[in-house]
Structure 1
Amino acid sequence: MPKAFEKPLKKFTFLDFNTAANSALESGTAPLVKGLLDQGAMTVLYGPSNVGKTFVAMDLAFHIAAGLDYAGMRTTQGAVIYVAAEGGRGAKRRVLAMRERYKPEGPVELLLLASPVDLRRPDADLKPLISAIQGLGVPVMLIVIDTLSRAMAGGDENSSVDMGFIVNHFDVLRTVTAAHLMVVHHSGKNAAAGARGHSLLRAATDTEIEVSEGLVSVTKQRDLERSWGSGFALDTMTLGVDGDGDPITSCTIRLTARDSVKVGSASPKEAEILEAGTVLQSLNVDGETGFSVADMVEYFGDRKDNLSANAVRQLLKKCVAKGLLTKCLRGRWKVEVVQSGLDVVQNIFD
């Protein structure tokens, strides 16, 4: 026998076919928010400016820190680190607004870091941040970095080198702390293309959550069902008054049922999407509900201005936000106008 095979390496362990199959249901990742986020994974929550990304992220973080169900989904309570790199004063006001709204009776293990961090350069803030988290002496379930742009500290989001550095450091951060990492990020100029920056970020992401005008929805799931979404509204709260007697305000998130979205008017492009969806639904003879993005892309394939899958997906989301479409399970969509009017808005947490 060749010497190379005399002493097999013990570094790797192989599972035979039946052992792998029999243990498949025993080795699942524990949920952080059941059906939405897994423990120890990575999420990018993204959207354009001024649509409420930070409010959505902080509200989700609060529910985990307080051990409250989120949109009917069970959470695993634990300490949450919220790195508010874009504005400490605003973050403190959001915390106060949530305390005033929810009036939690039990402990809320949410810890705010109201300062910028540089997680791009190896010799900057990664090690001090990890050391500070470990020094807390408590298990941390979630770390939120708000935003990616500030954490890159001047780096180029489109550079494979800079994005590669920060993605690797994100992996180190969540591996050492065993926490789920949520990164708040911006969408690019082409909203249909999703979160801006180099594709290395999306490749490393387990869950993507898009926040648009009045709508929050899952756009990617590595291991879970990619079907959750909700309407939402921002409720303004008066927290006090300043030295001039003017009100000091902030907002809290109110998730609303999908069927509470107020019906809006379709743009010409959205009207074409709705017409095509109606045609595609009429062609279904196999019992399938609605249509898929691939169906829509194929439908428009012969046109000179044929739409890409990302462009179609973005138009579909806009139609959902306007109440002109509903999203079904397993990546399918249905032309079905939902109930309209402000009087039908319901709070999911009620």
Structure 2
Amino acid sequence: MTKNNDFFIPRLIEAPDRADQIVTRSALASSKPPEPLISNALDQGTVAVLYGPWGVGKTFVAIDLAACVATGRPWQGRKTKQAKVLYVAAEGAQGFDKRLAAWEQAWSYPISDDQFHVYPLPVNLMDYAEVDDLINRIHGEYEFVIVDTLARCIVGADENSARDMGIAVNSLDRIRRATGTVLAVHHTGKDGHTLRGSSALEGAADTIYATSKDGAGFLLDRKKRKEGPLVDRHHLQLSQVADSCIVEVRRPDAGPSQSEEARRLAEVEGITFDAARKRLQRAQKVSPPVGTAL
């Protein structure tokens, strides 16, 4: 804190280091675009936002993204850079293990202790010292940090205030600089469609995705991308696996998902979910083309 006219003003915004930050025109031309963390979805060294109404899959999508990065599994068929992940579960870790276990069981990708860590407490993004303490602990350790939810990490702040949200954005950016990519999970406003609170968050984010209800499933749409194509829509659904759910592609009128079929087969045959899934996959490989089966 600094003293000014007998009042103490908290240090809210970090003063940038301006040394060697001025560049020439030719230096700009030779600068490289950010490398992808997930091809055509998330870039390294950026701040992203994932938002949606309550109960419309946003946390399951965030866990899916995090698990894919931690294991190197492709996300939605897209190449993923394997990297160490920190998941700030600000609403607590209750049920988190079941969600991760369901993901591991469904995709047969174990999540290593070396690649995935959970912090089951909120981080006060409005408190410079608390963010500073977090950065000192995680600097250089992680390449992907998820903050879920943003609201639980800005308790007491006015979400409609550009000043307050500007402080939160600055904290997210500080974490980004100390790690790699930061994804903040947030809610929709009263209309159920737009990002809740001040437009400062929307303006500062490099990438924004939103979930929305769509029949029996939900849509994941990219709403903003600073660099590259904007349109990116995914038709998704939550499918039950063990004691939780996973995110899967939803194909309209295509019948039950493979996970649903595997779960039913496991119940009927008395075998594990993984064994049932592998049996279905083998059956698909040996099935003749439709034209030759008639």
- Once residues 10 and 69 of structure 1 are traced to their aligned partners in structure 2, the CA distance between those partners, rounded to angstroms, is 38
Distance 1:187 1:105, change over 3 A: closer
Aligned twin of 1:343? 255
Offset of residue 345 of structure 1:
5.5
Aligned twin of 1:203? 203
> Which among 245, 248, 251 is matched to residue 251 of structure 1?
245
- Cα deviation digits, residues 267-317 of structure 1 (max 9, x gap): xxxxxxxxxxxxxxxxxxxxxxxxxxxxxxxxxxxxxxxxxxxxxxxxxxx
Letter paired with 2:22: F
- Once residues 10 and 62 of structure 1 are traced to their aligned partners in structure 2, the CA distance between those partners, rounded to angstroms, is 37
Q: What is the 5 A alignment of 1:97-246?
A: 97-104=102-109, 107=112, 109-123=115-129, 125-134=130-139, 138=141, 140-177=142-179, 179-192=180-193, 194-213=194-213, 214-238=218-242
Contact persistence 2:188–2:195 (CA under 8 A): yes
CA RMSD of aligned residues (A): 2.2
> Which among 25, 34, 38 is matched to residue 29 of structure 1?
34
SS at structure 1 position matched to 2:94: helix
Distance 1:344 1:98, change over 3 A: closer
Contact persistence 1:117–1:153 (CA under 8 A): no
Offset of residue 106 of structure 1:
7.5
- Once residues 155 and 68 of structure 1 are traced to their aligned partners in structure 2, the CA distance between those partners, rounded to angstroms, is 37
Distance 1:10 1:118, change over 3 A: closer
SS at structure 1 position matched to 2:80: coil
Letter paired with 2:123: V
- Cα deviation digits, residues 133-172 of structure 1 (max 9, x gap): 13xx64x221000001001022111112211111111111
- Once residues 87 and 110 of structure 1 are traced to their aligned partners in structure 2, the CA distance between those partners, rounded to angstroms, is 16
Q: Is structure 2 residue 71 aligned with structure 1 residue 63?
A: no
Extract unaligned runs of 5+ from structure 2: 1-18, 260-280, 282-294
Q: Which deviates further from its counterpart, 87-96 or 61-70? A: 87-96
SS at structure 2 position matched to 1:200: helix
- Once residues 34 and 178 of structure 2 are traced to their aligned partners in structure 1, the CA distance between those partners, rounded to angstroms, is 17
Say which structure, 1 or 2, has more relative contact order (CA 8 Å, 6+ apart): 2
Letter paired with 2:79: R
SS at structure 2 position matched to 1:191: coil
Q: What number of residue pairs does the alignment pair up?
A: 237
Offset of residue 70 of structure 1:
0.8
Contact persistence 1:46–1:195 (CA under 8 A): yes
TM-score by length of 1: 0.63
Q: Is structure 2 residue 44 aligned with structure 1 residue 50?
A: no
Aligned twin of 1:15? 25
- Once residues 160 and 45 of structure 2 are traced to their aligned partners in structure 1, the CA distance between those partners, rounded to angstroms, is 26
Letter paired with 2:172: F
Offset of residue 92 of structure 1:
2.2
Offset of residue 191 of structure 1:
3.1
- Once residues 210 and 96 of structure 2 are traced to their aligned partners in structure 1, the CA distance between those partners, rounded to angstroms, is 21
Extract unaligned runs of 5+ from structure 1: 1-8, 239-248, 262-340
Contact persistence 1:77–1:141 (CA under 8 A): no
Aligned twin of 2:12? none
Letter paired with 1:207: T
Offset of residue 100 of structure 1:
2.0
SS at structure 2 position matched to 1:343: coil
- Once residues 21 and 88 of structure 2 are traced to their aligned partners in structure 1, the CA distance between those partners, rounded to angstroms, is 37
Distance 1:105 1:122, change over 3 A: closer
Contact persistence 1:31–1:37 (CA under 8 A): yes
Letter paired with 1:222: K
Distance 1:52 1:105, change over 3 A: closer
SS at structure 2 position matched to 1:32: strand
SS at structure 2 position matched to 1:236: strand
- Once residues 89 and 21 of structure 2 are traced to their aligned partners in structure 1, the CA distance between those partners, rounded to angstroms, is 41
Offset of residue 237 of structure 1:
2.5
Distance 1:104 1:191, change over 3 A: same
Contact persistence 1:156–1:163 (CA under 8 A): yes
- Cα deviation digits, residues 245-280 of structure 1 (max 9, x gap): xxxx22111123xxx23xxxxxxxxxxxxxxxxxxx
